[in-house]
């Protein structure tokens, strides 16, 4: 086979590789990223108001997908000015030194609307392997991605000193997300 014929034969493979996963944009106004700590045994819902999601995903071929999430920690809102100020401090999120959290997937697997993105979460100077389960539904142009996971705040040195005890503020923190997505053209 002549060299230019080999190149022509590779073109369909290159097109298939680049088109394997669709790129999606998050509708920020319709999407939510919440965190739910417990205070004296009662859940308290907080929200991250500033986050970005880069997503390539095809539900029929999840292994070709890739997800990168960046969260601005200063946007953490527990509906109280005093609490919001406190969680920005060094004992909690320490946003002066660690202004963002990032999740980067290494693989996405699953089928039939139920998926898991495996990867690493970088938060407050700690990198941990985590699994992010999610449900996917929608059409070719619009989709919804909903999921939740539990993190132990002490794994990321969140709530140190007098706050390391779980009596008033529990160690598990649930992260919930409900993303409305539009396929990029």
Q: Output the pLDDT for position 19.
A: 47
End-to-end CA distance of the chain, in Å?
A: 37
Of the pLDDT bands very low, low, confident and very high (cuts 50, 70, 90), residue 14 is very low
5 pLDDT above the threshold of 90? no
Backbone angles phi, psi at 167, to 5 degrees: -65, -45
- Each residue of 92-126: pLDDT tens digit? 999 999 999 999 999 999 999 999 999 999 999 99
Set out the domains of the chain in order of their start, with CATH numbers.
21-183 (2.40.128.110)
Q: Are 25 and 182 in contact (CB under 8 A)?
A: yes
**Percentages (nearest 5) of helix, strand, coil residues in the chain:** 20, 50, 30
- Each residue of 122-147: pLDDT tens digit? 999 999 999 999 999 999 899 999 99
Q: Are 133 and 118 in contact (CB under 8 A)?
A: no
- Could you tell me which of 117, 127, 4, 13 has the C-alpha nearest to residue 63? 117
Tokens of 13: 């493979």
Of the pLDDT bands very low, low, confident and very high (cuts 50, 70, 90), residue 167 is confident
- Each residue of 59-90: pLDDT tens digit? 999 999 999 999 999 999 999 999 999 999 99
10 pLDDT above the threshold of 60? no
């Amino acid at each position: 086979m002549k060299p230019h014929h080999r190149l022509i034969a590779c073109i369909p493979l290159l097109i298939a590789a680049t088109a394997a996963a669709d790129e999606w944009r998050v509708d920020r106004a319709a999407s939510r990223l919440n965190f739910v700590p417990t205070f004296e045994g009662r859940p308290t819902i907080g929200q991250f108001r500033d986050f970005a999601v880069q997503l390539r995903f095809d539900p029929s071929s999840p292994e070709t997908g890739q997800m990168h999430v960046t969260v601005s920690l200063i946007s953490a809102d527990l509906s109280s000015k005093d609490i919001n100020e406190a969680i920005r401090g060094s004992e909690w999120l320490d946003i002066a030194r660690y202004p963002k959290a990032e999740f980067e997937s290494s693989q996405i697997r699953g089928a039939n609307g139920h998926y898991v993105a495996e990867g690493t979460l970088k938060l407050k100077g700690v990198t941990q392997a985590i699994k992010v389960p999610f449900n996917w539904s929608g059409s070719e142009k619009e989709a919804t991605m909903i999921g939740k996971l539990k993190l132990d705040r002490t794994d990321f040195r969140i709530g140190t000193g007098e706050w390391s005890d779980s009596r008033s503020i529990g160690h598990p923190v649930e992260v919930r997300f409900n993303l409305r997505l539009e396929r990029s053209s």
